[in-house]
Structure 1
């Protein structure tokens, strides 16, 4: 397809270094999809609060991604932005804040993520009230679901629509729910909703088993990969580091090394956007070739690393893949 002005600008100007890596990785992503491949996108950091949904939602709608892995924070923060956007507070001078000013933000129920403060009452508590009902209903029936399945129940119930404060087309969670996209959420307990759910368990109001945990999440991913890795295979597009990238990528060596499923294909494409420095023992900063030694990528797997800010790079790459 013909490319739009953003894509033309990128290909004309981005010719060297990280800029060239961005273009090469985007072209390879596009080629992988054109050949019938599938793609996993993993979200680390605070990409939902960075409003990546503006570009990621369209990627989902146009079937440029088939599965997402994200932190529990990214799972919930897209919905928080959806229902409480006008209550967020930007702090452009965040580098100059004193400890006393940080405490003042806390006292005002504003939790800071770099230059953006998430409003506790309008975001966290607004979701909590509705999630509590859904959790307790499942708990009473003895039903168990993965974290993203509970979030989809919340979206499909329609109770959040009264609060929408952004254009719904800019929410990647709404787009994912519409497509019924599977979302892998390792370490969900490390999130506001995970903390809140844990508090109910401690108080004896729910069973911990009502939300499926890490082992069942890996089993779910293993089954999905087995069903979807035929043909051109599944690519791996990693935004940031941490558990959202570390957890899913190791399902492949687990399948053929630990389960003995020797026909399991490697990941068919790999790109990581990261500003993590390559250093001794740094997994997030490791060059892609190191993953060959762990049985995740093969010698001829297309491999890219763009050492830059994902909040800048990812929307540009998505724009190219979408032909914008």
Structure 2
């Protein structure tokens, strides 16, 4: 029996009929079709989507098996957990466009780091996680073990040490949902995140070895193996939120297998959708149209492709709601 669509989905079908709105619905239907045919789906997360609380909708996508792997920035990996344990200490600044440099400095001095209109509290967010993750890093090194950045975060969440400090409903944390399912994640460029910076500081102080955290190259090697084993049948789709390293790192795996490893019969990405407000200019990857990816061996001529030129914080939750039939 087909599940009836809820009011959000019905609203989209009745009102989102043209331009970017229509592409939003087409993209959601294409995502659904790809999964119904047995395909798998990668979601890439750029920017600060975790601080935008995408977890409210993404966690349910993970629980319902609507996503098979995630490629995200180090910021998105950690900021979902920060929101989980420090939500009440966040400060929202609706008039952020009007702040003077001096007011920005005052935020820093009060240990608030601003992401657009939202300030992340250093002590309650960064330091609270640091005290726990430091022990996990050092225990692993002492045991002669090495893990990927997301695996350390999974250990942190699944250990239960943070449970008494949750400040939001845990069902709204996408990282918690991912940890419970052991969802594959790749985190290119993890070093530029807060936790990556903190880990680097321990390496500089010679308290940890750089090799204790597996590298981006090792992520690429792992991803190549995952893709080769999963890009079969209907293949793997790519749902890209924003642009940047989270998107391009993961997408490159298909041409690498075909062109650099010279493997035969490698399927290119079999569905593609991107939400972006970037423009196609100055070599921008974030704003390039899907057809450009055909020339790089990432997409095929018949890959269903969609480009929604809009704000991801508005569009992504609506697409997820449609896929979840809400």
1:232-254: CA deviation from partner (whole Å, max 9, x where unpaired): 10000000011000100000000
2:144 alignment partner, one of 142, 145, 151: 142
Query: Separation in 2 of the partners of 1:282 and 1:151?
Result: 31
Deviation at 1:279, TM superposition (A): 1.4
- 2:43–2:238: 8 Å Cα contact kept in structure 1? yes
The CA distance in 1 between the partners of 2:318 and 2:67, in whole Å, is 16
- Specify which of 270, 273, 283 is matched with residue 272 of structure 2: 270
Q: Which digits, 9 at most, give the CA deviation of each residue in 1:99-137, with x for residues without a partner?
A: 000000000000000000000000000000000000000
After superposition, the C-alpha distances for 1:270-320 in whole angstroms (9 at most, x for unaligned) are 000000012131111000000000000000000000000000000000000
TM-score by length of 1: 0.99
Question: Whole-Å Cα distance in 2 between the matches of residues 260 and 5 of structure 1?
Answer: 48
Runs of 4 or more, structure 1, over 4 Å off, are none
Give the equivalent residue in structure 2 for 1:129: 131
2:283 corresponds to 1:281: yes
Aligned equivalents of 1:254 and 1:262: distance in 2? 12
Partner of residue 212, structure 1 = 214
Q: What residue number does 2:122 align with? A: 120
Q: Counterparts of 2:108 and 2:68 in 1: how far apart (Å)?
A: 38
| Structure 1 residue 224, shift from structure 2 partner | 0.8
Match of 2:238 among 236, 239, 244: 236
Structure 1 distance, partners of 2:284, 2:112, is 32
Aligned to 1:22: 24
Following superposition, the deviation at residue 2 of structure 1 comes to 1.4
5+ long unaligned stretches in structure 2:
none
Cα offset for 1:140? 1.1
Structure 2 counterpart of 1:99, from 95, 98, 101: 101
Q: Number of aligned residue pairs: give it.
A: 324
- Determine the C-alpha separation between the residues in 2 that align with 1:156 and 1:177: 7
SS in 1 for 2:233: coil
Taking structure 2 as the reference length, the TM-score comes to 0.99
Partners of 2:199 and 2:294 lie apart in 1 by: 38
Structure 1, gaps ≥5 residues long:
none
What is the RMSD computed on CA atoms of the aligned residues?
0.5
Shift of 1:228: 1.1
2: distance between equivalents of 1:167 and 1:256? 44
